[in-house]
Chains A and B, each alone.
Chain A
Amino acid sequence: MSGDDFDQRIRSALGDDQLRANFHAAMQGFIERRAAQFPDPEDLQRRRDRAAAIREHSLRRLPELLETLERQLTANGICVHWARDAGAANRIVAGLLAERGIGKVVKGKSMVTEEIGLNDHLAAQGVQVIESDLGEFIIQLAGEAPSHIVVPAVHKNRREIADLFRRHIRGVEVTEGVDELTAIARRELRHQFATAGAGISGVNFLVAETGTLCLIENEGNGRMTTTVPPLHIAVTGIEKVIPKLEDLPPLLDLLPKSATGQPITTYVNLISGPRPPDELDGPREVHLVLIDNGRSRIQSDERFIDTLRCIRCGACINHCPVFVEIGGHAYGSTYPGPIGLVLEPQRMGLDRAGDLLSACTLCGRCGEVCPVRIPLPKLIGRLRRFAVEPAEDGATPLAGQGSQRRALEALLWRIWAWVYAHPRIYGGLAWLLTRSRRWLPQRIGGWSRYRSVPRPASRSLHERMKQRRRQ
């Protein structure tokens, strides 16, 4: 990702009125539905406190919890794999499929598999991957990436989806009815579940004490994916672990309410192992791939550990005034919006993703809605600093630290600081600006594209106050 590409994508998103209308309508809907779930502000703050404490506590004890988790999962018959990075994770999944000669898999919605590029990797190995979540199914047909972490096809309206179905699925009638469209997708997917050799899913929470995988969803496709094929491979980040089963309800309460304004998801799957010998359904094998991909580095950095509290609800994204204007694809990253601004530069390096940090006004709304109280604006500000300030002696630098520093910009800020740290110099400059106010430029870069240029007053407040004192 380079800054120019980002600018390009922003411009094309802003030029697409339909796209912006789709996002405005959808995000507004989420905002209103979320608000309706939390009628009592004080109660909401208490719930956020509790959820934040659970996540924070879990992260502090991460290594220990992961050990317990592995022990319990193994005891439950779930096979645990550790992947250091994206490549390792992809190889593990591809290897499991190849060993069993599996050529077709169904997949539930999972952002972490987007993060590691699993679909492309499997396709290159000749494995057919079928996305079973309706939104993912749609963007797979369109050959696109998700534009939102919770609702991946939210950038498309009904007409666009109907078009897509007509072009890609044989025998589809012209329809824009949501029920009809869903029925078409369901029909297409049904036989895939029966014939797939494996189901791949993400995980929302990992319960260490009991060795349980918790997966929530609305369409039942997650349950099908994890129970119908003979092999279930769950893939997730190491930060998803929580200590106990009793820690689950407070998080399960806030996640769907914050995400889509639902009181609870239609399905809450608690997976505790493969099918026992005397039972008739469930997969014969369950594997869990635990991905680090930069997470343990973030966990060990006191300044940024809060990033990992995230439960991927998307509330920060729904409420972001920048996201709603440009949509998810413009970011060019796996995770868009405020959490993307915080996560991606840490994951990919400030040199590769630091340009995202400019896409924020620091309005603070994300921090206000985050159910686990991640101080998103503060983290964005902190990352902006590391993007332009080289590491001090002795400090461990972030990846790509200082890479966004531009000589001219740095010089302007130095001049600014010099002026404002020296009252007499500022006074002289203010005198000059107020006296030349009529001749100052009327066009200043991006500012005057949308706004007239403010004109200094005839006398500064300093001058007025000085004069007043003399009277």
Chain B
Amino acid sequence: MKPRRVHFFATCLIDLFAPRAGMAAIELLEQAGIEVLYPEGQGCCGQPAWNAGYRREARRVIEAQLALFPGEEPIVVPSASCAGMMRHHWPEAFEPGTDLRALAHERAARVVEWSDFMVREVAPDWPRVAEGEAVVLHDSCSARREMGVAGQARVLLEAIGAVVREPEGAETCCGFGGSFAVKQADISGAMLADKMTAIEATSAPTLLSQDCGCLMHIGGGFGKRGRSLCVQHVAEFLWQRLMPEPMS
């Protein structure tokens, strides 16, 4: 039975840089008859500081999120890397045996990545409104490995008839890696160049992913080169094809 209600954790990048992706993910849930709770005080999963080694700082931010998701509803996250952070690392942030650890565990167990949730819990019966439209899908490393949900975005896209292409070397990281992109900018740039070559070789006009971090990095790379590729979160692409009304 599909859940009647979910919590939605939008992630910091979506909040500030891609709110349309967040809105699309929410509206597609609602369209399927699911009530979406959007806790006001939400901010960031803590991943940037956590991965940089600044765990105390990460812990402060995680702690602030823990109180926001009471109840038993799934916590749906439109980003595999943030979902991975919440699912696998939130509990680790706190000392074993403490109340916060127990709370983090409870929250972590309810975290679901958005495309995975849509496929498994919603199984939407969408019309094939994008029949034959070619897109290239970048499954993020977190989707592929930490969360094991690579493939779910493809299921959704194929459900509306899109032709999903995979870049060569799809299993290889795009070179984003959070602060890696700044700290090791030159290596990141080299990895990005490889990834862009593989993406362009598919000649699909639209690049999609379930992770806005990768998209900001790869999209920024195309932007810098002046290429006019459409770069979108999977949810936003689906929404644009499926919803007749403009976004609220």
Q: A364-B145, A388-B54 are in contact. Are A325 and B187 (CB under 8 A)?
A: yes
Are the C-beta atoms of B190 and A325 separated by less than 8 Å? yes
Of the A-B pairs whose beta carbons lie under 8 Å apart in the complex, a sample of 22, sorted by A's number, is A10-B186, A325-B190, A325-B194, A360-B177, A361-B141, A362-B177, A368-B145, A389-B56, A419-B43, A420-B43, A446-B188, A447-B181, A447-B220, A449-B185, A450-B189, A450-B193, A451-B220, A452-B220, A456-B17, A457-B18, A461-B14, A464-B19
Query: What chain B residues lie within 8 Å of A446 (beta carbons)?
Result: 181-186, 188
Q: Are A417's CB and B58's CB within 8 A?
A: yes
Residues in A neighbouring B61, C-beta threshold 8 A: 416-417, 420-421
Q: How far is the CB of A8 from chain B (nearest CB, A)?
A: 11
The secondary structure that dominates the A interface is helix
Answer whether residue A453 sits at the interface, using C-beta atoms and an 8 A cutoff.
yes
**Does B176 sit within 8 A of A, measured CB to CB?**
yes
Those 9 A-B pairs whose CB atoms lie nearest each other, nearest first: A446-B185, A361-B177, A451-B220, A384-B53, A452-B223, A450-B189, A363-B173, A417-B57, A461-B19
Which residues of chain A come closer than 8 Å to B144, judged between CB atoms?
Answer: 364
Q: Is the CB of A457 within 8 A of B19?
A: yes
A414-465 contacts to B (CB < 8 Å): 414, 416-423, 426, 430, 433-434, 444-457, 459-462, 464-465
Contact A321 B172 (CB under 8 A): yes
Report Cα–Cα, A365/B18, bound state, in Å. 28
Nearest chain-A residue to B57 (Cβ)? A417
Q: Does B216 contact A (CB under 8 A)?
A: yes
* Complex Cα gap A418–B43 (Å): 11
Contact call B220/A454, Cβ cutoff below 8 A = yes
Distance in angstroms from B115 CB to nearest chain A CB is: 18
What is the interface of chain B mostly: helix, strand, loop, or mixed?
Answer: helix
- Return the CB mask of B19-44 against A: 1 if under 8 Å, else 0: 11011001000000000001011111
Q: A421-B60, A461-B19 are in contact. Are A450 and B172 (CB under 8 A)?
A: no
A430 touches B16 (CB 8 A): yes
Q: Which residues in B have some Cβ–Cβ distance to A below 8 Å?
A: 10, 12, 14-20, 22-23, 26, 38, 40-44, 46, 48-58, 60-61, 63-64, 141-142, 144-146, 171-173, 175-178, 180-194, 216-217, 219-221, 223-224, 248
Whether the Cβ atoms of B175 and A361 lie closer than 8 Å is: yes
**Which residues of A in the span 372-419 have a Cβ within 8 Å of any Cβ on B?**
381, 384-389, 404, 409-410, 413-414, 416-419
Partner of B22 from the list A326, A413, A461 (CB cut-off 8 Å) is A461
| A445 in contact with B60 given A363-B177, A365-B173 (CB within 8 Å) | no
| A359 interface residue per 8 A CB criterion | yes
CB distance from A32 to the nearest CB of B (A): 12
Known: A363-B172, A434-B16. 5 other contacts (CB 8 A): A417-B61, A420-B12, A423-B42, A433-B16, A445-B185
